[in-house]
């Protein structure tokens, strides 16, 4: 029995060193080799710094709206709502988002609203929306900003990120970058 305890203690020490030390250093080294030393993509605009890989709140009519956040865009508390699709509170929140979107986007029907504009992501901090989510907002923004719809559609197309290697994931648009480009559009 004594030999088993000593083996268990040795195994514990080896795994602690391996996973607490060596593994951590390997991941740190990979992060340092990544763009911006693994600190995310920083975008500077009008003297302020924003992280393009963390969702930002945009809910004004002259901008493309971002995906709703279950954590009010607080990166320190990244999480989903953890409420199932039949939860009454969850259903009420989604219904309120749909109603708000319809009020601000006349001429759009409930069935035309992409799901990512009314549901929060798993992290609550998704910085991207789908191509459909951007296109459904073009009419509202064009009217407010007095910009031709085809010019906004071209801007959306320019900021559409294709799937990784053309295979993995959907087309997506970073809302922060798109809205900065929208502000710079004259």
User: Do 76 and 7 share a structural domain?
Assistant: no
User: Do 123 and 56 share a structural domain?
Assistant: yes
pLDDT digits (tens, 9 = 90+) for 109-159: 999 999 999 998 877 788 999 999 999 999 999 999 999 999 999 999 999
Q: What is the mean pLDDT of residues 91-101?
A: 93
Q: What is the mean pLDDT of residues 165-173?
A: 87
Long-range contacts of 144-151 (CB under 8 A, 24+ apart): 144/61, 144/62, 145/62, 145/182, 147/185, 151/185
* Structural domain containing residue 96: 41-184
| Percentages (nearest 5) of helix, strand, coil residues in the chain | 50, 10, 40
User: Do 141 and 49 share a structural domain?
Assistant: yes
User: Do 12 and 49 share a structural domain?
Assistant: no
In terms of average pLDDT, the best of 69-78, 84-93, 120-129, 152-161 is 152-161
Q: How far from chain centre, in Å, is Cα 135?
A: 17
User: Do 178 and 92 share a structural domain?
Assistant: yes
DSSP per residue, 107-152: T--GGGS-GGGTS--SSS---EE-HHHHHTTHHHHHHHHT--HHHH
State the total domains in the chain: 2
User: Do 9 and 86 share a structural domain?
Assistant: no
User: Do 149 and 128 share a structural domain?
Assistant: yes
Q: Between 36 and 127, whose confidence is greater?
A: 127
User: Do 66 and 3 share a structural domain?
Assistant: no
pTM for this structure?
A: 0.78
CA triple 159-131-153, angle to 5 deg:
60
DSSP-derived secondary structure letter, 60:
S
pLDDT at residue 82 is higher than 80: no
User: Do 66 and 128 share a structural domain?
Assistant: yes
Could you give the CA distance from residue 61 to residue 101 in angstroms, rounded to a whole number?
10
User: What's the chain's average pLDDT?
Assistant: 89
Please tell me the total number of residues recorded for the chain in this structure: 186
User: Do 77 and 27 share a structural domain?
Assistant: no
């Amino acid at each position: 029995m004594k030999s088993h305890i000593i083996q268990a203690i040795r195994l514990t020490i080896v795994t602690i060193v391996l996973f607490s030390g060596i593994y951590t250093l390997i991941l740190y080294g990979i992060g340092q080799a990544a763009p911006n030393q693994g600190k995310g993509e920083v975008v500077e605009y009008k003297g302020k710094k924003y992280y393009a890989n963390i969702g930002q709140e945009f809910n004004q009519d002259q901008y493309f709206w971002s995906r709703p956040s279950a954590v009010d865009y607080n990166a320190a508390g990244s999480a989903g709502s953890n409420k199932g699709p039949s939860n009454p509170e969850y259903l009420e929140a989604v219904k309120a988002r749909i109603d708000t979107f319809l009020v601000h986007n006349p001429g759009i029907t409930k069935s035309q609203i992409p799901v990512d504009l009314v549901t929060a992501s798993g992290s609550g901090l998704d910085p991207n929306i789908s191509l459909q989510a951007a296109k459904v907002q073009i009419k509202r923004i064009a009217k407010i900003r007095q910009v031709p719809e085809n010019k906004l559609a071209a801007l959306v197309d320019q900021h559409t990120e294709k799937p990784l290697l053309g295979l993995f994931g959907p087309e997506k648009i970073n809302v922060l970058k798109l809205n900065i480009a929208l502000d710079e559009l004259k």
